[in-house]
Each structure stands twice: as C-alpha cells, then as structure tokens.
Amino acid sequence: MTIFCADYPTPDGAAIRDYVHVTDLADAHVLAPRQLIEGGRGATYNVGAGRGASVLQLIKATGAVAGRPTPYAFGPRREGDPPSLVADIRAIGEGLGWRPTRDLETMIADALRFEASRA
C-alpha cells in the first residue's frame, strides 16, 4: 500500500481523512427522506465521522485488527491533495439527530469480514 506523502503538517506526516462506516452512512440516508415524509424541510448535510484519522493510523489499525502488519511505503505527494479533510457533522446532528456509532476498528473488522466472505 502506498501512502502519498509523509510530510503533511499532521502529527505523523500522513494525510488525515474522515472515515465513516457504510452502515452509519445508510442510517443517515434513511433519516433524511423520513424527515421529509413527516413534513420536515429538506436540507443539505455533511455525513462523516466528524473526526479524522491519518492514512498511516488507518493502515496500522488495519494490521492490528487483522492480526498481521499491513505493508506500506511512502510515495510522492499527489497534486491538490489537502493535508486534512474532516466532515463538519453538526448540522446533521441537529437536523436529523444523526451521529455515527461505529469506530475505526469496527469499520475495519466489518470490511475485512466482508472481503473474506467474497473469497
């Protein structure tokens, strides 16, 4: 696995991203039309975990969950790639009462289980 750039102004030099579990995402998508059906107003919301993890943290957490290290190398920075992208989820919390419920390790474990089921 290649981590693009190791010199971002982040704690470990890797880009920070907001990872959200697909089931949390689906839950948000169920709440939005329900609000409209119940007579609420439509709105635009950011959906994410509302907290970031670096790509390096993700790789190390994947190795911990899998029980074996995930090999990685650092590559060059990709043009236009920002150091950090984290969703502001205050509006969806206030508007729909939605909050993500699954942590990074749960996301990884579920993804690994899904991939194993396809083998």
Residue 26's domain spans which residues?
A: 2-117
State the total domains in the chain. 1
Global pTM?
A: 0.87
Q: What's the pLDDT tens digit per position in 58-103?
A: 999 999 999 999 999 999 999 999 999 999 999 999 999 999 999 9
Domain containing 39 — which CATH number? 3.90.25.10
SS in 3 state form for the chain? CEEECCCCCCCCCCCEECCCCHHHHHHHHHHHHHHHHCCCCCCCCCCCCCCCEEHHHHHHHHHHHHCCCCCCEEECCCCCCCCEECCCCHHHHHHHCCCCCCCHHHHHHHHHHHHHHCC
